[in-house]
Amino acid sequence: MTSSIFRIGGEIDVHRLGFGAMRLPTEAGAAREASVAVARRAVELGVTLIDTAYMYGWGANEELLAEALYPYPDDLLIATKVAIERPAPGEEAQVNGRPEFLREQVEQALRRLRVERIGLLQMHRLDPKVPLAEQLGTLREFQLAGKIGHVGLSEVTVDELDEARRIVDVASVQNRYSLLDREHEAVLDACEEAGIAFLPWRPVHPAASTATAGIAAVAAELDATPAQIALAWLLDRSPVVLPIPGTASLDHLAENVAAAELRLSADQRERLGRITPAPAG
């Protein structure tokens, strides 16, 4: 049976079914109170990996998690991401991997999360305008200073992952991947070979909720929802996969966490694997 625990960077044990905080509203009032309740309930249900980013509310999401969960349980890892610049009104966000910008973002993330060390700090995107050695070298400086535990990447190719690993130890990769979206299959395979955590974002493809015939059949057999089957398939796909489904609903949160208890038979695994991925988009 595949283990329910993964050791990130050979050091941090987490339950493989995590939580993505992106969808949590941060504005003051009832919506924020509900978000705090969801974050706290995730931890109560055994989630030990929560994913956030500066881009999620331009720091507001990190502050929300600190409000909800600080002081953090010893076994909780909050991973955040940097390298996206807040846009001016009417403009689009841009990748910024300049060392001075990354240094500022890391320091601000430490302050917002109320920690002295970020266990897992990920590059939200690599900046093609800045040498990779400068981008990752900056994060390596923070590692040596004890302010970052491990470094991760997001939306990278196999070649970019290989190049990055020559500069710094890469503990995680966060690419878009799901039962119905397997564009980055080769990256997942590379991560599995190297023992690198693979955090699929958008782990439940929107089309999964409308249940293709194959997903619906397996869901009926296991008395589960199509979304739960999509998450169970990810957990079954590789021992390095750590799905981070997000929600602002307590009921949906409980449903997602329960997916970790599902076990696919060899026949169900084979049938799901034959499902044709959805068109890109």
Catalytically annotated residues: 56
**Beta strand residue intervals within the chain, DSSP E:** 5-8, 12-15, 19-20, 49-51, 77-82, 84-85, 94-95, 118-123, 148-154, 170-174, 197-198
The token duo for 12 is 């941090």
* Closest residue by Cα to residue 145 from 97, 98, 107: 107
* Closest residue by Cα to residue 234 from 206, 258, 199, 266: 199
The token duo for 69 is 């969960």
CB within 8 A of 69, min separation 6: which ones? 39, 40, 43, 50, 76, 78
Burial of 171 (0-12, 13-18, 19+ CB in 10 A): buried
Q: Is 198 helix (H, G, I), strand (E, B) or coil?
A: strand
What's at 114, amino acid-wise? R
CA distance 68 to 63: 9
CB within 8 A of 42, min separation 6: which ones? 19, 50, 253, 257
Q: Look at strands 84-85 and 94-95 and give their pairing.
A: antiparallel
Phi, psi at residue 95, to the nearest 5°?
A: -75, 140
> What does the chain come to in residues?
281
